[in-house]
Amino acid sequence: MYELKTLGLFLITAVAEILGCYLPYLWLREGKSVWLLIPGMLSLMLFAWLLSLHPTASGRVYAAYGGVYIFVAVLWLWWVDGIRPTTWDLIGSSVALLGMAIIMFAPRGS
């Protein structure tokens, strides 16, 4: 159960971070409304708060989160940008997820 909760929290965190960066990108690169900066800022605040919810050392959380971020970014590439991931994209994100699992779920001595 701990593993599913951790992975779910990481997935939501990654979406908050990517959205928080994507909305300013739309304003800066695509000429969209400056008002996108407000939900972008709120999304980045949510991202930082979500990272604080993990019950383990911050360095371990940040390191493991990177693997989930890579996976979600590849999904974003596909779903939002409309670019189908290559085999190498999928292999790379799978390796990153494996790294996350090793960091977060390895047995630890007391």
Query: What pLDDT, in 10s, does the model give residues 37-51?
Result: 999 999 999 999 998
pLDDT band at residue 107 using 50, 70 and 90 as cut-offs = confident
State the virtual CA torsion across 22, 5, 86, 19 in degrees, nearest 10: 0
Residues 62-90 have a mean pLDDT of: 95
pTM: 0.85
Decide: 102 and 4 in contact? Cβ < 8 Å.
no
Q: Is 75 helix (H, G, I), strand (E, B) or coil?
A: helix
Q: How far is CA 51 from CA 59, 86, 102, in A?
A: 11, 29, 18
- Token pair in block for residue 109: 């001595």
- CA-to-CA dists, residue 71 to 20, 29, 42, 107, angstroms: 17, 24, 23, 24
